[in-house]
Amino acid sequence: MSERAGSLEEAIASSKAKGRKRSLAPVEPPAVDDPAAHLRAIGSRVLAPLRRRRYLAAADRAEALQKRMRDLSPQAIEDMRDRLRSVLVREGSASARLAEAMALTREVCHRTIGQEPFHNQLAGAFGLIDGAVIEMATGEGKTLTSVLAAAVQGLAGRAVHVVTSNDYLANRDAGHLRPALEALGLTVGVIQHGEPPDERRAAYACDVTFVSNKEVAFDFLRDRLLRDRATSGEAQDRMRRALAGSDTRAIPLLRALDVAIVDEIDSVLIDDAGTPLIISADKPAEAGDDVLRTALDLAAGLERRRHFVVEADGMSAFLTDKGQAEIDTLAGSLGGLWRARIRREELALEAVTARHVLERDRHYLVDDGKIVMVDASTGRRMPDRYWGQDLHRMLEMKEGLESSGARKSLASISFQRFFRRYRTLSGMSGTVAEVAGELARVYGTPLARIPRRLPSRLVRAPRRVHSDRAQLWADVTATVEALSGRGQPVLIGVRTVEEAARGSDALTAAGIAHRVLSAAQDAAEAEIVARAGEPGTVTIATNMAGRGTDIRLGSGVADLGGLVIMLCELHDSRRVDRQLMGRAGRQGDPGLVIELVTQEEARPGAGFRSRLLDASCRFGLARSVVPIALRLGQLRQQRLQARRRISLVRRDEQQARILAFAGGLD
């Protein structure tokens, strides 16, 4: 065996991954500006109806084949499984026997976990195997759909990663679906945060591995660091010991990036697209605490719109000409880093962001003496993540916390770049139609919308427009009091931790018992969401809290009209609002959606302001025009965010070309 670094992964794969599956080279779709990428974006929507018909027809064939299997003995089922596996390994997941394998998997699910996938779930599974993004309404059974696709591809000898949004869901789904997968002769692994390398390596060596998006991406980075270090003589010696079985530290964790089935794919590949995942280490600080403290003091005297302007994303700012001049004047007598104009403005801008832009309980939390970032889209905590440069340290100073010190990046990757490396990428969500073109262009995943099993009984009430938040919460309180008094459950959706607290105060003042689910209280997230459909339950939740957990109606709730969703704070993307609305009306259940908006949401700086609203305010027509203006504002924000994500991909591709030219591409 050659001792070149490029051959190490092949040696490990052949010696450690049961001798059955070779490590597969990662692939990437054409660049986002390539003509093929643009054609994919157009074809994703245009051809979606054809794909749906094809998948539904395949589901018909699988159902017909399964009828012949219902009376087979367990031994006959095992014999059929073994025959199908040998065919699929030889012919791949494009085999003509695919429908038979799906039928077998459905029958095994019925016998082992007591669940027989519905027709639309079979159709969705065929789409996943085809590498499509499947839109299935909330509550239609996406978890069971994913295991059908994972099982068939596992039978074909492929390394399957079922990717969830957090460790809880990965562990829950693996535990529930393990009996069916093992009955098909497949091994099942699950990755949890904090597990030692040997356990992680064993889990990835399984046929089907359940893992969160963050864990699998970080494990890829760890493997990349290992490979980069494999050129040293010490690393080569360690590799020889690893292959001899005496040292496993040099064996990569992942055996392949082959198949990824991503649950809530829009959350991972769109909402988290620009989030960099970084493995870092402590480093000596360039700027000392005194420099950062001075920067915060200087920023305290700067005024919004005069000295700085907050970007439309609400997370960053830039200095105006007056702001730059003011910083030059204030820093004129300072030495050190303040003498360099570029570094001076960098420090000032980070101090402005820390002092005036990022807000506690909105953009971050303080927990156990540490700054914990909050995802702007989901309201979830993002532990072990840091703002770059000196910003994180400035926030710690602002909150009077002990400094975590400066850090240097050892390896980093974005979800965009990481998931583009899988040979087959697919996923599911209740809301992907709005971003189908972007997903097809960037990731090569076409759209297929799978119909509901039962007609929707969800009712949309007329939108309510209020002048301010106080009036809105007064309306919410009165409505909730009436609904919960008759036993109907209510789920109140807000965007931020801060607004969740405001709503909680309003309900508490009215004597209404309720539970709050936000980034500040995410440990019991699944339990709180699961109980949100019980009679008389009132729950306040940030936008996407509890995704992946079904809200089942309690006894008698359907007769009262089902779960009521009150949408009290708009998101920049209508898609995210739809995700919250989709929590009601599950599997043909009744439900009600009440959307409440205020003129305040169209105020300057809120991101939704428009000329239409300005004109309507002058003529006293704001109440009737506000909903239209806000919808147009959301469309503008969606286009702006999409352009930013595409720009990030272009920059990533450009950097990859430079690294490849320099011989440093991973």
As given in the structure block, the two tokens for residue 150 are 């994972």
First to last CA, the chain: 22
| 527 and 387 in a common domain | no
Identify whether 620 is part of a domain.
no
Identify whether 617 is part of a domain.
no
* Predicted confidence band of residue 372 (pLDDT cuts 50, 70, 90): confident
| 477 and 570 in a common domain | yes
Number of domains composing the chain: 3
Average pLDDT of span 253-274: 89
Q: Which of 520, 537, 536 is nearest to 528 (CA)?
A: 537
Looking at the chain, the whole-number percentage of residues with pLDDT higher than 90 is 43
- Asked if 100 and 61 touch (Cβ cutoff 8 Å), the reply is no
- Asked if 300 and 355 touch (Cβ cutoff 8 Å), the reply is yes
Across 7-11, 91-95, 538-542, least confident range: 7-11
In the prediction, which pLDDT does 27 show? 62
Identify whether 410 is part of a domain.
no
Give the DSSP letter of residue 196. -
| 295 and 215 in a common domain | no
Identify whether 463 is part of a domain.
yes
| 254 and 391 in a common domain | no
In the prediction, which pLDDT does 6 show? 34
In the prediction, which pLDDT does 238 show? 54
* Predicted confidence band of residue 535 (pLDDT cuts 50, 70, 90): very high
- Asked if 296 and 351 touch (Cβ cutoff 8 Å), the reply is yes
Q: How many CB atoms lie within 10 A of CB 648?
A: 18
Q: Where a domain ends, among 602, 624, 656?
A: 602
Dmax (CA) for the chain in angstroms is 88
Domain extent at residue 32: 5-277+416-449
The top-scoring range by mean pLDDT among 201-210, 228-237, 437-446, 620-629 is 201-210
- Asked if 92 and 85 touch (Cβ cutoff 8 Å), the reply is no
Q: Which of 255, 342, 268, 330 is nearest to 299 (CA)?
A: 330
Identify whether 624 is part of a domain.
no
| 87 and 30 in a common domain | yes
The top-scoring range by mean pLDDT among 38-52, 59-73, 370-384 is 59-73
In the prediction, which pLDDT does 122 show? 97
As given in the structure block, the two tokens for residue 105 are 């998997």
Spell out where 523-639 has E strands. 538-542, 563-567, 590-598
Identify whether 654 is part of a domain.
no
Per-residue pLDDT tens for 77-97?
Answer: 999 999 999 999 988 877 789
| 461 and 369 in a common domain | no
| 199 and 294 in a common domain | no
| 464 and 445 in a common domain | no
- Asked if pLDDT for residue 326 goes beyond 80, the answer is yes
Tokens 């995943």 belong to: 445
* Predicted confidence band of residue 656 (pLDDT cuts 50, 70, 90): low
The rounded distance, in Å, linking the Cα atoms of 398 and 297 is 10
**Burial (CB count within 10 angstroms: exposed 0-12, middle 13-18, buried 19+), residue 342:** exposed
Per-residue pLDDT tens for 502-529?
Answer: 999 999 999 999 998 865 544 566 777 7
| 167 and 24 in a common domain | yes
As given in the structure block, the two tokens for residue 490 are 């209510």
pTM of the model: 0.82
- Asked if pLDDT for residue 25 goes beyond 90, the answer is no
In the prediction, which pLDDT does 286 show? 55
The rounded distance, in Å, linking the Cα atoms of 508 and 494 is 17
Identify whether 662 is part of a domain.
no
Residues written for the chain: 666
| 461 and 445 in a common domain | no
The top-scoring range by mean pLDDT among 368-377, 404-413, 419-428 is 419-428
Per-residue pLDDT tens for 473-503?
Answer: 999 999 999 999 999 999 999 987 788 889 9
Identify whether 314 is part of a domain.
yes
| 564 and 425 in a common domain | no
- Asked if 275 and 652 touch (Cβ cutoff 8 Å), the reply is no
| 485 and 429 in a common domain | no
- Asked if pLDDT for residue 11 goes beyond 50, the answer is no
The rounded distance, in Å, linking the Cα atoms of 498 and 360 is 8
- Give the CATH number of the domain where residue 519 resides: 3.40.50.300
- Asked if 149 and 261 touch (Cβ cutoff 8 Å), the reply is yes
β-sheet bridge partners, residue 42? none
- Give the CATH number of the domain where residue 355 resides: 3.90.1440.10
Average pLDDT of span 359-377: 82
In the prediction, which pLDDT does 14 show? 38
Q: Helix, strand or coil for residue 536?
A: coil
β-sheet bridge partners, residue 309? 318
Distance of CA 222 to the CA centre of its chain: 21
Per-residue pLDDT tens for 567-622?
Answer: 998 887 888 888 888 889 988 899 999 999 887 665 444 444 455 555 555 555 55
**Burial (CB count within 10 angstroms: exposed 0-12, middle 13-18, buried 19+), residue 435:** buried
- Asked if 188 and 174 touch (Cβ cutoff 8 Å), the reply is yes
In the prediction, which pLDDT does 17 show? 41
